[in-house]
């Protein structure tokens, strides 16, 4: 079956509904509840999937048969959900964030009042994805809040201000944490965090029902921004390496088992709590170069939903020593 790229969202949803009915043997009522759609729509989608020859002896996703991989990932790491996209290195950021926008629109957006968005290169592609998906859907949209300080050191807006751009794409209200993401010193951090407006903004961000983040490596942050335009310095980098750090979530660094490692960077960062005390964390991250970091976040139960690519998923399902 030849499918245009523009039809991916439609056919992906058809495949998921068909999989739930024929492979997982869920009732139509259960599928309707799972995807928050009327039962009559489930019936129509099953018929359409059959008419389009998507259902034969197995479920045929026209892009890649990856649904079983998603289920295995959920089972192995005990997470709430996963979404896997075909691995195409040249467009991995676009594909991951488009899949994320489709997933969030389908399962979460209409159910929550506040959506938190983090920073980073991967999430900088999310506003365009939301703009594309939102144009095809209606309904109420949640407010959007940044999960980190969104100002650069010179008080200009950070180039990594993904949250405000997502809010604009969705036509939603935006709440920002109006401070630098990373203070120069711990003393400056305490001055900033003691300002009521910043403290209240972080409290709001921590209360978000859904928090969308990306998983980084310390090499990522050494060579690029950790928060906004600020990079990890040489001394901090080597201290993290000596502490066996493999990954990072919003300036919270962790080892291969997901244990949070105390460090001077986190103590200077204007960010939400990780692990989170409220809501769910959706991580968008792919690439074999991030395998140890993603696995650590999963093992430490730092994320509830993972959106990744097929090659990375297969590697995560293997034993660590393979």
Digit-by-digit pLDDT tens for the chain (322 residues) are 555 655 777 888 898 998 888 878 889 999 999 888 999 999 999 999 888 888 775 555 554 567 889 999 999 999 999 999 988 878 889 999 999 999 999 899 999 999 999 988 899 999 999 988 876 566 788 999 999 998 765 555 554 589 999 999 999 999 999 998 888 899 999 999 999 999 999 999 999 999 999 999 887 766 555 665 556 778 888 888 888 999 999 999 999 999 999 999 999 999 999 999 999 999 999 999 999 999 999 999 999 999 999 999 999 999 877 6
Which helix (DSSP H) or strand (DSSP E) does residue 212 occupy?
Answer: strand 210-213
Pick from 127, 131, 121: nearest CA to 160? 121
pLDDT for position 133: 84
pLDDT for position 227: 61
The phi, psi pair for 134, rounded to 5°, reads -65, -30
For 132, 137, 208, the CA distances from 140, given in Å and listed in that order, are 16, 10, 16
pLDDT for position 322: 61
Pick from 207, 230, 67, 50: nearest CA to 143? 207
Q: What is the pTM of this model?
A: 0.81
Residue 302: asked if its preceding bond is cis (omega within 30°), the reply is no
Q: Is-contact 201 175, C-beta < 8 A?
A: yes
pLDDT for position 221: 66
pLDDT for position 177: 93
Helix (H, G, I), strand (E, B) or coil at 99: helix
Pairing, β 280-284 against β 305-309? parallel
What is the number of H-type helices and E-type strands within the chain? 13, 9
Tell me how crowded residue 246 is: count the other CB atoms within 10 A of its CB.
24
pLDDT for position 65: 64
pLDDT for position 41: 94
pLDDT for position 40: 93
Q: How far is 151 from 31, CA to CA, in rounded Å? A: 43
What domains sit in the chain, N to C, each tagged with a CATH number?
A: 1-63 (1.10.10.60), 64-317 (3.40.50.1360)
**How many residues comprise the chain?**
322
CA 240 to chain CA centroid, nearest Å: 24
């Amino acid at each position: 079956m030849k499918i245009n790229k523009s039809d991916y969202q439609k056919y992906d949803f058809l495949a998921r509904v068909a999989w739930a009915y024929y492979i997982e043997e869920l009732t139509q009522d259960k599928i309707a509840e799972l995807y928050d759609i009327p039962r009559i729509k489930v019936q129509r989608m099953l018929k359409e999937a059959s008419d389009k020859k998507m259902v034969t002896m197995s479920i045929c996703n026209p892009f890649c048969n990856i649904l079983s991989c998603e289920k295995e990932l959920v089972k192995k790491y005990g997470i709430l959900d996963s979404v896997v996209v075909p691995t195409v290195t040249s467009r991995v950021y676009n594909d991951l964030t488009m899949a994320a926008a489709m997933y969030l629109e389908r399962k979460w957006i209409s159910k929550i009042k506040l959506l938190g968005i983090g920073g980073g290169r991967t999430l900088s592609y999310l506003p365009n994805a939301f703009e594309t998906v939102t144009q095809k859907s209606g309904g109420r949209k949640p407010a959007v809040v940044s999960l980190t300080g969104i100002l650069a050191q010179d008080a200009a807006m950070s180039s990594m201000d993904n949250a405000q751009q997502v809010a604009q794409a969705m036509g939603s209200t935006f709440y920002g944490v109006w401070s630098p993401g990373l203070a120069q010193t711990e003393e400056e951090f305490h001055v900033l965090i003691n300002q009521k407006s910043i403290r209240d903004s972080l409290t709001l961000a921590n209360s978000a029902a859904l928090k969308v983040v990306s998983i980084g490596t310390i090499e990522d942050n050494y060579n690029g921004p950790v928060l906004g335009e600020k990079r990890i310095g040489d001394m901090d980098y080597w201290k993290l390496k000596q502490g066996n750090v493999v990954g990072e979530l919003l300036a919270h660094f962790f080892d291969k088992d997901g244990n949070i490692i105390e460090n001077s960077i986190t103590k200077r960062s204007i960010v939400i709590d990780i692990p989170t005390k409220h809501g769910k964390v959706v991580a968008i991250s792919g690439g074999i170069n991030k395998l140890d970091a993603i696995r650590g976040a999963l093992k430490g139960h730092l994320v509830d939903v993972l959106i990744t690519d097929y090659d990375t998923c297969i590697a995560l399902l293997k034993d660590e020593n393979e």
